[in-house]
């Protein structure tokens, strides 16, 4: 990328992903931190470096959309608890590109008219990313599929201990832990969650050319059989403490593309419909499998922390989500205006550590 001017980046929301993204922007040779939007009023006016657990960086956090627009950023990393389309449209209309882990990995063109208009008006680009969805569910399976042929099934599956994810609002409201099984299954948030994974499945279906129209969802829940300590406090017996989702595109009744998660509050005191739940001998991991000629399989370790305590301090999956956003920024800023997915962008890569860089 040569000696070009650094791209000016604003971080939207300073939760786990946002704080890691700030660190990522500060370490990235082509990026400059230009500001941050914060949700909690007590964070407004504070130094953004301090909010991210670093030394002060001389950049002050702001609390309104208008203040963010006044910064005139090249790109906004948009990582709030839940997406607000009007907010994203306003950012795009102002000319700022938006990279986000909260949706739009492979959006339905019929539902993105407003955002596409905003991109056209601002000459800006929107890119949805993440790790799961937004990486492991579609980008990496597509990459792996290139080294095989006659593909019959693509599977991406997560096995994670959710006691290490210190984002209580996400864990309770988006992922659906801590309440009754009925509450978990009827939550409107389940749609938001499933929407992301389903669109990833559709992306793989479309690019590989499977004859599959619908994506079916199956959910199983495990309840606590004894109190379990978790980031949302104590989960009492009978309350949801484990969730397994499968989102499957089907041809002739058989799955051809599967995204699945196994989210467990540890491996003790969990009772599912099929008995006690655990991760099996391989432990926490992400698996990607492409059944074809030949069948190839990849297991990713390192995205889950060494221990629950370590994960609560800094969860590598959250950090990785942030990096996938940050790494995309130079490519997104160079892209044609519009909504751009992995199918449109060139190979996205990270950058050398500052002390090893050219």
Binding site for ligand NAP (CB under 6 A): 13-18, 38-40, 43, 79-81, 101-102, 130-134, 167, 169-170, 174, 318, 321
Task: Specify the residue for token string 């990607």.
Answer: 288
Distance CA 265, CA 178 (A): 10
Of 92 and 156, which CB lies nearer to ligand NAP in the complex structure?
156
Q: Which residue number is nearest to ligand NAP in terms of Cβ?
A: 15
Of 318 and 328, which CB lies nearer to ligand NAP in the complex structure?
318
Of 204 and 223, which CB lies nearer to ligand NAP in the complex structure?
204
Distance of closest approach, residue 100 Cβ to ligand NAP, in angstroms: 8
Distance of closest approach, residue 281 Cβ to ligand NAP, in angstroms: 26
Distance of closest approach, residue 80 Cβ to ligand NAP, in angstroms: 4
Of 13 and 75, which CB lies nearer to ligand NAP in the complex structure?
13
Distance of closest approach, residue 322 Cβ to ligand NAP, in angstroms: 8
Q: In the structure encoding, which two tokens stand for residue 224, read together?
A: 């606590």
Q: In the structure encoding, which two tokens stand for residue 225, read together?
A: 């059989």
Of 160 and 210, which CB lies nearer to ligand NAP in the complex structure?
160
Distance CA 123, CA 71 (A): 17
Distance of closest approach, residue 318 Cβ to ligand NAP, in angstroms: 5
Distance CA 231, CA 312 (A): 8
Of 18 and 107, which CB lies nearer to ligand NAP in the complex structure?
18
DSSP output for 204-268: HHHHHT-----EEEEEEEEEESS-EEETTEEEPTTSEEEEEEEEEEEETTEEEEEEEEEEES-SS
Distance of closest approach, residue 65 Cβ to ligand NAP, in angstroms: 11
**What are residue 297's phi and psi, to 5 degrees?**
-140, 140
Distance CA 43, CA 305 (A): 28
Distance CA 103, CA 192 (A): 9
């Amino acid at each position: 990328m040569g000696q070009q001017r650094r791209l000016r980046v604003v971080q939207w929301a300073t939760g786990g992903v946002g704080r890691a993204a700030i660190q990522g922007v500060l370490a990235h040779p082509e990026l400059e931190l230009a500001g941050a939007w914060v949700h909690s009023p007590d964070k407004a006016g504070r130094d953004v470096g301090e909010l991210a657990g670093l030394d002060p960086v001389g950049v002050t956090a702001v609390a309104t959309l208008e203040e963010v627009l006044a910064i005139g950023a090249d790109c906004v990393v948009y990582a709030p608890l839940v997406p607000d389309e009007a907010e994203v449209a306003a950012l795009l209309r102002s000319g700022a590109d938006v990279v986000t882990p909260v949706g739009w990995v492979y959006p339905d063109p019929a539902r993105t008219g407003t955002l596409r208009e905003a991109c056209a008006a601002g000459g800006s680009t929107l890119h949805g990313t993440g790790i799961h969805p937004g990486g492991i569910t579609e980008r990496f399976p597509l990459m792996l599929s290139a080294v095989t042929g006659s593909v019959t099934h693509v599977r991406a599956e997560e096995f994670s201990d959710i006691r290490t994810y210190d984002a209580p609002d996400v864990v309770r409201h988006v992922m659906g832990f801590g309440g009754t099984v009925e509450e978990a299954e009827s939550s409107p948030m389940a749609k938001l969650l499933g929407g992301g994974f389903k669109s990833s499945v559709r992306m793989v279906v479309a690019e590989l050319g499977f004859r599959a129209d619908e994506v079916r969802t199956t959910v199983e829940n495990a309840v606590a059989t004894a109190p379990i300590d978790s980031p949302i406090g104590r989960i009492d017996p009978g309350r949801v403490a484990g969730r397994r989702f499968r989102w499957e595109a089907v041809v002739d009744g058989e799955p051809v593309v599967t995204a699945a998660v196994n989210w467990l509050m540890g491996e003790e005191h969990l009772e599912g419909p099929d008995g006690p739940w655990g991760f099996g001998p391989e432990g926490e991991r992400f698996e990607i499998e492409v059944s074809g000629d030949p069948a190839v399989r990849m297991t990713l370790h390192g995205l889950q922390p060494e221990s629950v305590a370590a994960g609560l301090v800094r969860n590598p999956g959250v950090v990785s989500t942030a990096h996938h956003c940050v790494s995309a920024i130079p490519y997104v800023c160079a892209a044609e205006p519009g909504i751009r997915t992995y199918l449109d962008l060139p190979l996205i890569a990270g950058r050398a550590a500052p002390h090893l860089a050219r």
